Amino acid sequence: MTGFPWLSILIALPVAGAALIMAARAMAGPAGPGVDRGVKIMALLVSIATLCVSIGVLLQFDPANPSFQLVERAAWAFGLEYHVGVDGLALSLVLLTTAITPLCILASWTIDKQVASYMILFLVLETLMIGVFCALDVILFYLFFEGGLIPMFILIGVWGGKNRVYAAFKFFLYTLLGSLLMLVAIVWMILTAGASSIPELMAHPFTANAQTWLWLAFFASFAVKMPMFPVHTWLPDAHVEAPTAGSVVLASILLKMGGYGFLRFSLPMFPDASQLFAPLVFALSVIAIVYASLVAFRQTDIKKLIAYSSVAHMGFVTMGIFSGSEIGIQGAIFQMLSHGVISGALFLCVGVIYERMHTREIAFYGGLVNRMPVYAAVFILFTMGNVGLPGTSGFPGEITTMTAAFLVNPLVAAGAALGVILSAAYALTLARKVIYGTIENPQLATIADLDSREWVLFVPLVAATLLFGLAPWIIFDFTEASASAIAQAYEAATTAIAAGAHP
């Protein structure tokens, strides 16, 4: 409670940096390349500073302790509370956020339209994302969760591609409709339980009937965020239209809010309902894996293909979470982090060639390896990660969530394992069409390999993919305490139902 306010600083730092940029921008006078560059460097420094603070948080954190740490709690306006703290689950996602954001800003170096606004929005978005994972008050969580919509909406709507307005509204409507139901549920919960603190709500025994409705309301929001079948169709459009860094942040971090929500709210607060609906989630997860993989197979736009593969990979996350077992939850968290790295990297890969050629059409490309051998190697590595090759970080999450599913229902695991075959088919076909072969398109004859900025972008992502692929225990150890706490609580609650001891 007392002590250095690590998390508050972490949450506030990006937005404070944004304010600084705003002030600096106002003083700098009319726009120009020099000013833009200064803004970019400032934004990058702010995001790096945030990363450093998050590493400081990591050093303060005791992974063996399953309870919330570095907790700060204070009264706030309107009788509400400011209440933040992290466990292994939350902190791992915070670190993902703070690590990906500097890369996103670096990836936005080529932005030349309203640079200051862009960078300010990005930093605000970072604050909101960190806030989501740190919030321990349900209202605070909701504010951060919904607040993130707005900068993302603007990023797509202003800096997006041709069809950006349609995509932005689709994204906004989908997520907002889901979230409104969640808001109603949150209000009802606070009134019923008399508390808005997440740890207290976790301890509150909601009746089975109430759980069912609350679970569905939260599900509406998180399922859209994940996104799960059949509410996934906003994602491909949003990705296609978003600027590169927007796609990265969307795939790497925003999607993880759904999985985080399931683990923070649905499973611990509504265990009975979670058990009741688990078969539905399994069915939707398997459908997502198979359906989205088959759709990905037919895409002609690189970003759409990767977007659909994201939908498929998130299917493993939901499957793992609602297995309710430690191995499933561990696997789901791992899969989220790994997907954050790999899909982010893949969208950066698309960004590299999009910036050079201004098209994402698969048919436009071909034979890139002849001109861009380093790029080709990076692309193939992340493709293999996407395929879930053992040795890359794509594998441990898939095998553990499937194992968890097998323990519950072998048919679900078998369905999900089909994704193992299908992902190889679509991902390697993409690699063949874009990377291999000869250069047929004369426009590609002079395309250049990665420059030094792009090297800096990819080196950490390559390292993370291999490190967490070969030594996944680094992450598993870190999230073990909180994952097993969630699993044990869930098991205790559901065993109690089975024994008929429920209120």
Partner 1 sequence: MMIEAILVLAPLAGAFVAGVFQKVLGDRLAMGITTALVGLSAILSLLVFIDLIWGGGAPRTIELMRFIEIGAFQSSWSVRVDTLSAVMLVVVTSVAFLVHVYSIGYMAEDPHRARFFSYLSFFTFAMLSLVTANDLLQMFFGWEGVGVASYLLIGFWYQKRTANDAAIKAFVTNRVGDFGFALGIMATFHFLGTIQFFPTEAGDVALFSAEVGGRLVDGVLHNLSHMSLMVGQWSIPAAELTAILLFIGAMGKSAQFFLHVWLPDAMEGPTPVSALIHAATMVTAGVVMICRMSELFEMAPNAAAFVTLIGAVTAIFAATVGLAQNDIKRVIAYSTCSQLGYMVFAAGVGAYDAAMFHLFTHAFFKALLFLGAGSVIHGLHHEQDMRYMGGVRRAMQFTWAMMLIGTLALIGAGLPIEGLKIGFAGFYSKDAAIEAAYAAGEGGRAFGMFAFWIGVAAAFLTSFYSWRLMFMTFEGTFRPNPHPSHGHEDVRPGAASDADLGHGADQHGAHGVDHTPSDAGPAGGSGHGRDHRTGGGDGEGRAAPAGTAPAHESPWVMLGPLAVLAVGAVFAGWFFYPYFIGYKADAFWEGAIHRHHADHHFPIWVLWAPVAVTAAGFLLASVFYLLTKGMAERIARAAGPLNAFLAQKWYFDELYDAVFVKGARALGDLFWKGGDQKLIDGLGPNGVAKAARFGGRQLRRAQTGFLYHYSFLMLAAAVLLGAFAIWAGGGLELLGG
- Site stretch for partner 1 (CB under 8 A), options 57-65, 143-151, 231-239, 313-321: 231-239
Binding residue for partner 1, selected from 40, 83, 164, 170, defined by CB under 8 A = 170
Residue 432 binds partner 1 (CB under 8 A): yes
Q: Closer to partner 1 by CB, 86 or 295: give it.
A: 295
Burial class of residue 404 (count of CB atoms within 10 Å of its CB; 0-12, 13-18, 19+): buried
Residue 64 binds partner 1 (CB under 8 A): no
The SS3 call for residue 361 is strand
- Angle of helix 6-28 relative to helix 33-60, nearest 10 degrees, comes to 170
Q: Closer to partner 1 by CB, 24 or 407: give it.
A: 407
116: its two tokens: 């200051």
Q: What letter represents residue 175's amino acid?
A: T
Q: 9, 53 in Cβ contact below 8 A?
A: yes
CB atoms within 10 A of CB 44: 19
CB atoms within 10 A of CB 394: 29
- Nearest distance in Å: CB 442, partner 1: 15
Phi, psi of 338 (to 5 degrees): -65, -40
375: its two tokens: 């790029």
- Nearest distance in Å: CB 334, partner 1: 9
Name the E strands within 316-392.
none
- Name, in order, each residue with C-beta under 8 angstroms of 348's C-beta and a sequence gap of 6 or more: 103, 107, 244, 248, 457, 458, 461
Instruction: Give the C-alpha separation, 403 to 23, whole Å.
Output: 53
Identify the helix (H) or strand (E) that includes residue 298.
Answer: none
Instruction: Give the C-alpha separation, 225 to 232, whole Å.
Output: 8
Residue 455 binds partner 1 (CB under 8 A): no
Residue 369 binds partner 1 (CB under 8 A): yes
Residue 63 binds partner 1 (CB under 8 A): no
132: its two tokens: 């989501």
Residue 370 binds partner 1 (CB under 8 A): yes
Residue 60 binds partner 1 (CB under 8 A): no
**How many degrees, rounded to 5, is the angle at CA 226 between CA 15 and CA 315?**
145
DSSP state letter for 291: H
- Nearest distance in Å: CB 233, partner 1: 5
Residue 303 binds partner 1 (CB under 8 A): no
Phi, psi of 286 (to 5 degrees): -65, -40
Residue 476 binds partner 1 (CB under 8 A): yes
Q: Name residues contacting partner 1, limited to 385-424 (CB under 8 A).
A: 389-391, 395-396, 399-400, 402-403, 406-407, 409-411, 413-414, 417-418, 420-422, 424
- Nearest distance in Å: CB 347, partner 1: 20
Dihedral sign for Cα 456, 457, 462, 465, please.
positive
Residue 438 binds partner 1 (CB under 8 A): yes
Q: Closer to partner 1 by CB, 43 or 278: give it.
A: 278
CB atoms within 10 A of CB 424: 17
- Nearest distance in Å: CB 154, partner 1: 19
Residue 173 binds partner 1 (CB under 8 A): yes
Identify the helix (H) or strand (E) that includes residue 85.
Answer: strand 81-86
Residue 314 binds partner 1 (CB under 8 A): no
Residue 429 binds partner 1 (CB under 8 A): yes
Q: Closer to partner 1 by CB, 97 or 299: give it.
A: 299
Residue 330 binds partner 1 (CB under 8 A): yes
Instruction: Give the C-alpha separation, 170 to 131, whole Å.
Output: 25
Q: Name residues contacting partner 1, limited to 138-167 (CB under 8 A).
A: none
Residue 473 binds partner 1 (CB under 8 A): yes
Q: 215, 270 in Cβ contact below 8 A?
A: yes
Residue 48 binds partner 1 (CB under 8 A): no
Residue 283 binds partner 1 (CB under 8 A): yes
Residue 471 binds partner 1 (CB under 8 A): yes
Binding residue for partner 1, selected from 134, 384, 461, 481, defined by CB under 8 A = 384
Residue 183 binds partner 1 (CB under 8 A): no
Number of residues that bind partner 1 (CB under 8 A): 63
324: left (phi over 0), alpha (psi -120 to 50) or beta: left
Residue 194 binds partner 1 (CB under 8 A): no
- Site stretch for partner 1 (CB under 8 A), options 1-9, 147-155, 184-192, 470-478: 470-478
Radius of gyration of the chain (CA): 22
- Nearest distance in Å: CB 491, partner 1: 12
Residue 436 binds partner 1 (CB under 8 A): yes
Sites of contact with partner 1 (CB under 8 A): 170, 173-174, 230-231, 233-234, 236, 276, 279-280, 283, 291, 294-299, 326-327, 330-331, 367, 369-370, 384, 389-391, 395-396, 399-400, 402-403, 406-407, 409-411, 413-414, 417-418, 420-422, 424-425, 428-429, 432, 435-438, 470-473, 476, 480
